[in-house]
């Protein structure tokens, strides 16, 4: 089934990494996938975002005009992307930095999680907030299995970070739990 998501936040919040990870998870499930990052000048000081499209059939547009889902890590990203969402979509919102009240849509499914806290608890550091968010999104959307995501960690992470896989796994699973 066709699915898409836009993930957005500050540069440094690990947006690109979870985008890639999701894509690798889809590949593990033999699905087609496109991952399209924003990049360039925006990196400095601005926001970073990426779009992931997953489908069983060949993917047409990698550009997502009206996203089905969002992972939102900071306020400017919510302001930018929420209005474009399709009705009925899912938002995973980083409650640590963004007040859920800022959301203006009531035709969507808003999952606000204190990502830093969950990360801290699950993995001993707030730095895996991105993984928590991804876990939550995957659980909520069912686009791929949570196991595929954790299994894909070794595809998406550079070998020298493989020792961090267990912590990441915990964060993902904690995110999934928080969303279910």
Shortest distance, position 24 Cβ to another protein, whole Å: 6
Q: Which is nearer to another protein, 140 or 148 (CB)?
A: 148
The distance in angstroms from the start CA to the end CA of the chain is: 21
Q: What DSSP letter does each residue of 38-89 carry, written as one string?
A: --GGGGTTSEEEEEEEEESSPP---S-SS-SEEEE-SHHHHHHHGGGPPTT-
Options 39, 99, 154, 162; binder of another protein; rule CB under 8 A: 39
Query: Binding to another protein by residue 12, rule CB under 8 A?
Result: yes
Rounded to whole angstroms, the Cα distance separating 30 from 49 reads 25
Query: Binding to another protein by residue 81, rule CB under 8 A?
Result: no
Query: Binding to another protein by residue 166, rule CB under 8 A?
Result: no
Contacts of another protein in 107-146 (CB under 8 A): none
Options 27, 145, 151, 167; binder of another protein; rule CB under 8 A: 27
Q: Where are the alpha helices (DSSP H) in 13-123?
A: 15-28, 75-81, 115-123
Query: Binding to another protein by residue 45, rule CB under 8 A?
Result: yes
Options 8, 72, 93, 97; binder of another protein; rule CB under 8 A: 97
Query: Binding to another protein by residue 42, rule CB under 8 A?
Result: yes
Query: Binding to another protein by residue 88, rule CB under 8 A?
Result: no
Shortest distance, position 179 Cβ to another protein, whole Å: 24
Rounded to whole angstroms, the Cα distance separating 46 from 77 reads 10
Rounded to whole angstroms, the Cα distance separating 5 from 34 reads 11
Q: What angle do CA 26, 136, 8 make, to 5 degrees?
A: 80
Residues in contact with another protein by CB under 8 A are 10, 12, 20, 23-24, 27, 32-37, 39-46, 59-66, 74, 97, 155
């Amino acid at each position: 089934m066709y699915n898409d998501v836009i993930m957005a936040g500050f540069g440094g919040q690990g947006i690109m990494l979870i985008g890639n990870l999701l894509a690798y998870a889809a590949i593990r499930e033999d699905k087609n996938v496109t991952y399209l990052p924003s990049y360039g000048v925006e990196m400095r000081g601005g926001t970073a975002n990426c779009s992931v499209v997953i489908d069983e059939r060949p993917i047409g547009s990698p550009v997502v005009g009206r996203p089905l889902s969002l992972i939102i890590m900071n306020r400017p990203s919510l302001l930018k992307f929420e209005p474009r969402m399709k009705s009925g979509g899912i938002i995973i919102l980083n409650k640590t930095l963004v007040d859920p009240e800022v959301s203006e849509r009531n035709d969507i499914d808003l999952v606000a999680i204190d990502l830093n806290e969950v990360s801290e608890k699950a993995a001993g550091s707030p730095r895996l907030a991105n993984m928590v968010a991804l876990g939550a999104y995957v659980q909520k959307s069912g686009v791929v299995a949570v196991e595929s995501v954790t299994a894909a960690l070794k595809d998406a992470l550079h070998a020298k970070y493989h020792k961090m896989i267990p912590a990441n796994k915990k964060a993902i699973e904690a995110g999934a739990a928080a969303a279910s």
